[in-house]
Amino acid sequence: MRVTIICPEAHREDANQLAMVLGYGAADALTYGEPQWQDAAGNRYAVASLEVAPAFIDAAQATLDRPVWDGENSDEDGVGYQVNMAGAARAQALVSIWGLRLGLTEDEVEPDPVASPATILALFHDKPMVALEMAGIGRVERQSA
């Protein structure tokens, strides 16, 4: 299944910490790069879209554990860790999931997703560009020189 994640500019650093916890290694610290998307109010967002296994959903909502790979270069006082676990937890607390009907009864309709500077929005939709449009964001217009 495909998830497209919309991360507000102010939360990129913490979101990258969470990406390292849920991902495969230190390279996941680059998941949320420069914010190239914006909403109608001008708030900027970094976006990542990827295929995930169903187990990702449970892992993303579970208590976070430091990745095994992160302890390889640390000393006994924890100096040398790459992942900021407090930052990862802050990002996890901001995640809002859309498209899985979590907690909805069969009669309830999921409201349309809306990007917000206060929420990291995870959209489960097979077409990333459609998901971004539904959430109300578009590419940042490049300034001509």
Asked if residue 104 has pLDDT above 60, the reply is no
Q: What is the pTM of this model?
A: 0.88
Structure-model confidence comparison of residues 118 and 56, the more confident one: 118
* Cα distance between residue 22 and residue 31, in whole Å: 11
Domain that holds residue 53: 2-139
Asked if residue 110 has pLDDT above 80, the reply is no
Tens of pLDDT, residue by residue over 73-90, are 655 655 678 999 999 999
Residue 145 lies in a domain: no
Residue 32 lies in a domain: yes
Q: Which residues are 38's β-sheet partners?
A: 44, 138
Beta strands in the chain (DSSP E): 2-8, 37-39, 44-51, 95-98, 120-124, 137-139
Instruction: Quote the number of domains for the chain.
Output: 1
Residue 17 lies in a domain: yes
Residue 71 lies in a domain: yes
Residue 100 lies in a domain: yes
Compute the mean pLDDT over every residue in the chain, rounded to the nearest whole number. Answer: 89
Asked if residue 103 has pLDDT above 90, the reply is no
Residue 144 lies in a domain: no
Asked if residue 142 has pLDDT above 80, the reply is no
Asked if residue 107 has pLDDT above 80, the reply is no
Query: Is 38:138 a contact under the CB 8 Å cutoff?
Result: yes
